[in-house]
Structure 1
C-alpha cells in the first residue's frame, strides 16, 4: 500500500483546492428537480376554471349555465346590473324583455374572467341565485324596473 509521502514532489492525494466542487452542483440539481416536480403536481391538482356553456334570455330573467360553480361578484351601478365571473367562455350579447320593454345584455372578456352587463333605458334592479342542477351550475338573474 502506498503512503501519502511525497513522490516526485507531489502527494498521492490532490489538494482540496484542486478537487471538483460537485456538492453545490448536486444540491442545485436536487432543488431544480424538486421545483419541477412540485410545479407538475400543482398543475395537475389545480382546479379547472368554470366555463360558461349557455345563456338563456327569458322574460324578466337571464339564465346562465356553467359546467360547475364559479365565483361571482355582482353590483348595481347607475341603474345597470354588472357581474364578474371567474370563468371562461365566448363573448355574446342579446336582448330580453323586462316588464314588456327591451333590456340589453352583454357577456365580454375581462382581466378577471367574464363580465356580464345588463342595461336598459330605465334603471334596472337584479337579484341572482345559483344552484346545482343536472350536473351543471345554473345562475338565474331576476330583473325588474327600479
Structure 2
C-alpha cells in the first residue's frame, strides 16, 4: 500500500466526508428561531405590571388607584398607618385633614414595592379596602384618631 490510491476499498487515507458542511448552520438557525419564539410567547403570557396611577385626597383618608389589584400588607404601628403594595410607581407626598387636624402622607419606593406611610401629631388608626372600580383597582384608606 504505497500512496493514497484506492485498492479494493483498502487504502491508507480516509474517504472524503459526504455530509454537508451546512448542517451546523441549520442547527444554529433552528436554535435561534426557537429561542425567539419562546421569548415572544413569554412576553405575551407575562402578567401586566401593577402600577400606582393616582393618589386622591378625600375626606378623612386617601384613595389610591392602580391599573390592577396589587398585593397589600398593612399595619397600624405605634400611631402611624403603614401599607406596603407590591407595585411600581413614583414617590409622592402630601397632606390631608382628619377631623379638622393635619395629617402627612408619603409614598416611597422600597425593596418590596411601594410603601405608604401616614403620620400625625396624635395616634392614628386606619382601615383599608380594595375593590375594582371602572376597570381600575381602588384602595380606600380611611383614617381616624
| TM-score bracket relative to the smaller structure | 0.7 to 0.9
CA deviation vs aligned residue, 1:110-134 (integer Å, no higher than 9, x gap): 1122110001111111100111111
**Structure-2 change in CA distance of 1:38 and 1:3 (3 Å):** farther
Cα distance in 1, alignment partners of residues 116 and 127 from structure 2: 14
- Structure 2 length-normalised TM: 0.77
Cα distance in 1, alignment partners of residues 48 and 7 from structure 2: 66
- Structure 1 length-normalised TM: 0.77
Cα distance in 2, alignment partners of residues 91 and 111 from structure 1: 13
Cα displacement (A) at 1:72? 1.1
**Structure-2 change in CA distance of 1:105 and 1:31 (3 Å):** same
CA deviation vs aligned residue, 1:55-107 (integer Å, no higher than 9, x gap): 11122111111122111111112211111112122211011111211110001
Q: Do the aligned partners of 1:6 and 1:12 also contact (CA within 8 Å) in 2?
A: no
Unaligned runs of 5+ in 1: 15-19
Unaligned runs of 5+ in 2: 1-5
- What does residue range 125-140 of structure 1 map to in structure 2 within 5 Å? 125-140=125-140
Cα distance in 2, alignment partners of residues 33 and 3 from structure 1: 47
